[in-house]
Amino acid sequence: MLIKRFSWIVALIKPPAIRALLLQGSALILNVAILLLLGRTADMGISLIGVLLLQATLVVLLSYWCGLAIWWLAIQFLFPFALIGTLALALPPIFFFLLFLLFLGLYWSTFRTQVPYFPSTRATWELVAGLLPPDKPIQFIDIGCGFGGLVLHLAARRMESRFFGIEIAPIPWLISSLRGQRGQFLFGDYAKRDFGQFDVVFAFLSPVAMPDLWIKAKREMRPGSLLLSYEFAIPDAIPDIVVNDPRNVMIYGWQL
């Protein structure tokens, strides 16, 4: 009952980026407490670099203790130095605001989905084209289509079929929509979209997304349809297709 009541807090602090921020705040409180204590007892002066080092050490210890992944420890260590270094540049506030808007438009809810934008290549698109059912018109969707490269490439090769992309971040979605009439680009979260109409669902996401994607695919995709994933396998689901792209990255396929 108690856990249910506070489940929204658990959901709120689930993304590692939120936990990282809270841990920086906690380390800052500890940092100030230690500095006050030292100032009172030993009357010690401490340099800015000392304060930053203390902050970096405290936050790494806290982050390690809370089980953040190893790359987060490096980010957490460097963050206080990067913050003060950037402030020292004394750039106009509008610069930070515009940068914030750009990142917001590009990455949107990456902190929650843990799937950032990075594109697949033309060589991969060629391989995907070869995995599509050849002998009938199909409906295809790239879930998390980025700037729409794969969708437009396939749509140009298979005029008889329909190619969709769905994208959660506004800037990639807007640009992909402006790039061509051949594909159809939807704005939103693929998790809220029914996969039932598609013959092929293509994903290039992240390891974190794969277990939920598999549950959704099994629930919604029609028998005979195909789920493709670039780079990321689904734990405990043996793929029916495994092909290597020229960069030695796998494309996995599961026949539903």
Ligand X SMILES: C[S@@+](CC[C@H](N)C(=O)[O-])C[C@H]1O[C@@H](n2cnc3c(N)ncnc32)[C@H](O)[C@@H]1O
Binding site for ligand X (CB under 6 A): 113, 115, 117-120, 142-146, 149-150, 166-169, 172, 189-191, 204-205
Pick 80 or 165: Cβ nearer ligand X: 165
Query: Least distance (Å) from ligand X to the CB of residue 160?
Result: 22
Pick 72 or 173: Cβ nearer ligand X: 173
Query: Least distance (Å) from ligand X to the CB of residue 39?
Result: 47
Query: Least distance (Å) from ligand X to the CB of residue 213?
Result: 9
Pick 31 or 153: Cβ nearer ligand X: 153
Residue 149 CA to residue 165 CA, distance in Å, equals: 10
Residue 29's H or E segment, with its range, is helix 16-42
CA distances for 92 relative to 79, 85, 89, 172, angstroms: 20, 14, 9, 27
Query: Least distance (Å) from ligand X to the CB of residue 176?
Result: 9
The DSSP secondary structure of 110-154, one letter per residue, reads HHHH--------HHHHHHHHHHS-SSS--EEEEES-TTSHHHHHH
Residue 255 CA to residue 199 CA, distance in Å, equals: 10
Pick 136 or 192: Cβ nearer ligand X: 192
Alpha-carbon 228 to chain mean position: 18
Query: Least distance (Å) from ligand X to the CB of residue 78?
Result: 24
Do residues 204 and 231 touch, judged by C-beta distance below 8 A?
A: yes
Pick 34 or 249: Cβ nearer ligand X: 249
Pick 11 or 191: Cβ nearer ligand X: 191
Residue 68's H or E segment, with its range, is none
Query: Least distance (Å) from ligand X to the CB of residue 251?
Result: 11
Q: Is 253 helix (H, G, I), strand (E, B) or coil?
A: strand
Strands, E, within the chain: which ranges? 139-143, 162-167, 184-187, 200-203, 226-230, 241-244, 250-255
Q: Which residue is nearest to ligand X (CB)?
A: 144
Pick 167 or 199: Cβ nearer ligand X: 167
Task: Fill in the amino acid letter for 74.
Answer: A
Query: Least distance (Å) from ligand X to the CB of residue 210?
Result: 12
Do residues 175 and 201 touch, judged by C-beta distance below 8 A?
A: no
